Amino acid sequence: MRTIKGPAIFLAQFAGDAAPFNSLPAIAEWAASLGYKGVQIPSWDARLFDLEKAATSQDYCDEVAGILAAHGLVVTELSTHLQGQLVAVHPAYDAAFDGFAAPAVRGDPVARQAWATEQMKFAAQASRRLGLKAHATFSGALAWPYVYPWPQRPAGLIETAFDELARRWRPILDVFDENGVDVAYEIHPGEDLHDGVTFEMFLERVGNHPRANMLYDPSHYVLQALDYIDHIEIYHERIRAFHVKDAELRPNGRSGVYGGYQAWADRPGRFRSPGDGEVDFGAIFSGLTKHGFDGWAVLEWECCLKHPEDGAREGAEFIASHIIRVTEKAFDDFADGGTDEAANRRMLGLDR
């Protein structure tokens, strides 16, 4: 067993144009003041980070690490959620996702995909230069418009989508392998990798690639009515990153899992600040600790009710209170009888 690292915070939901959220030194000072020990950096946000520069310059990566170290922080992972999304986009979502891309490739799906692929490879190289072992991202989606089986799906439609998804990701995974970094796909509705079954479909198609792994975020399982504790038991060997995010699912006579197109505050399933929803984080930290997860517990703050700065302040203490310092001895060692192999054989009646 290992002690989970933390608390850490994903900076994406906090970065902005006003101080202290508009530069890495300022936001680092803010995060440290709340008690965080690590930050997960959104690689697309130029106010905080230059991904291409990090991929090619060790000096720049050392500078980033130094800025954080001055405040007692480290990088936990880089994130390419927006770029990973663009590796695979169904045409129905072209307009919605186009803004994630660099201006030069917007409106051109082929160029946009090539740009996203290059970004992912930059992320592998930058992660290595920063000494990181895992990377957080999305898989993108080709089959998501067909998630509900009506109208009836043509035979082979989903298989073709996953074949293509794997074809696009396999070269990226190989680059991550060359750089010694795991890709942790956030299992998330809206992505083709949105539950255990779809992760397995993808994993099979990339030849059980050792770098194809998971970012575990229980909030996305709550909103699917998926057993998030059993998920750890099944997939713990592939869990490489962890978002601490709460949620609640309270279906009623008017709406359920699908939400009726309502705004987040009115949906039966909605994200909450840690401790305000229904996720059993005690069981989660116990399960991950039991299975030796040695990554970071990273707050991803998303709540439709609470102010983000309150969520961030409370989140550091919440995570710290759930981290289990693993024991170095068994609780019943006081009753150790000091037996040896000969005594064991006698106890089993093997020497009669």
CATH of residue 141: 3.20.20.150
212 falls within a domain: yes
Residue 251 belongs to domain spanning = 5-347
3-class secondary-structure state, position 73? coil
pLDDT of 346 reads: 84
Residue 292 CA: distances (Å) to CA of 2, 61, 134, 209: 5, 29, 15, 21
Residue 156 has pLDDT above 70, yes or no: yes
Per-residue pLDDT, 332:
63
Residue 331 has pLDDT above 70, yes or no: no
Q: How far apart are CA 207 and CA 174, in angstroms?
A: 12
pLDDT digits (tens, 9 = 90+) for 258-290: 999 999 999 999 999 999 999 999 999 999 999
Give the whole-angstrom CA distance, residue 260 versus residue 60.
47
pLDDT interval class at 339 (50, 70, 90): confident
pLDDT at 150 over 80: yes
Average pLDDT over residues 159-184: 98
Q: What is the pLDDT of residue 333?
A: 64
CA distance 158 to 333: 54
Contact 293, 239 (CB under 8 A): yes
Would you say residue 46 lies in a domain?
yes
Name the more confident of 342 and 159: 159
CB 304 within 8 A of CB 264: yes
Amino acid at 321: S
pTM value is 0.95
Considering the domain boundaries, does residue 258 fall inside one?
A: yes
* H-type alpha helices, 206-307: 218-222, 228-235, 281-290
What mean pLDDT do residues 102-114 have? 98
Domain count of the fold of the chain: 1
Instruction: Give 340's pLDDT tier (boundaries 50, 70, 90).
Output: confident
pLDDT at 202 over 90: yes
Return the amino acid letter for 122: F
Share of the chain above pLDDT 90, in %: 93
In a domain, 333, yes or no: yes
Domain membership flag for residue 134: yes
For the chain, helix (H) and strand (E) counts, in that order, are 13, 10
Task: Tell me the sheet residues that pair with 246.
Answer: 272
In which band, very low, low, confident or very high, does the pLDDT at 102 lie, cut at 50, 70 and 90?
A: very high
Exposed/middle/buried for residue 197 (C-beta within 10 Å: 0-12, 13-18, 19+): exposed
Q: Specify if 352 maps to a domain.
A: no
* Average pLDDT of the chain to the nearest whole number: 96
Cβ-based burial of 225 (10 A; exposed 0-12, middle 13-18, buried ≥19): exposed
